[in-house]
Amino acid sequence: MNWEKEYKFSHIDLVKYCGASGDFNPIHTVTHVAERKGFKDVIVPGLMTMGLVSRFIEEQFQLVNLNQLDIRFVSPIYPDEKLFFKFEKSSTIQYLVNFQIIDNEGVMKAKGSFQFSNDGEE
Amino acid sequence: MEYKFQPFQVERGKIKEFAKSLGYTNPIYFDVESAQNKGYRDIPAPPTFPTVIDFWNDTPYYTFFKKIGLLPEFVLHGEQTYQYKTTICAGDTMTGKVKIISEERKKGKVFYHLETTYTNQFGEIAVIGNATIIDIKGNEKV
| Phi, psi (deg, nearest 5) at residue B32 | -60, -40
Best mutation site among A50, A74, A118 for testing chain B: the one with the most B CBs within 10 Å?
Answer: A50
pTM (2 d.p.) = 0.94
Size of chain A in residues: 122
User: pLDDT digits over B72-94, tens only?
Assistant: 888 899 999 999 999 999 999 99
ipTM for the predicted complex: 0.94
d(Cα A87, Cα A55) in Å, to the nearest integer?
13
**pLDDT given for residue B2 in this prediction:** 87
Contact A69 B24 (CB under 8 A): no
Q: In this structure, are residues B89 and B42 in contact, taking their beta carbons and an 8 Å threshold?
A: yes
d(Cα B131, Cα B55) in Å, to the nearest integer?
14
Grouping H, G, I as helix, E, B as strand and the rest as coil, residue B41 is coil
- H-run or E-run covering A85: strand A83-89
User: pLDDT digits over B3-34, tens only?
Assistant: 999 999 999 999 999 999 999 999 999 999 99
CB proximity B79 to A under 8 Å? yes
Q: Say which residue, B73 or A9, is predicted with more confidence.
A: A9
Contact A20 B20 (CB under 8 A): yes
Grouping H, G, I as helix, E, B as strand and the rest as coil, residue B87 is coil
User: pLDDT digits over A26-54, tens only?
Assistant: 999 999 999 998 999 999 999 999 999 99
CB proximity A33 to B under 8 Å? yes
User: pLDDT digits over A59-93, tens only?
Assistant: 988 667 899 999 999 999 999 999 999 999 988 88
What is the secondary structure of B4-40 as a DSSP string?
EPPPEE--HHHHHHHHHHTT---GGGT-HHHHHHTT-
Q: Which residues of B touch A70 (CB under 8 A)?
A: 79-81
Q: In this structure, are residues B115 and B130 in contact, taking their beta carbons and an 8 Å threshold?
A: yes
CB proximity A115 to B under 8 Å? no
B114-133 average pLDDT score:
98
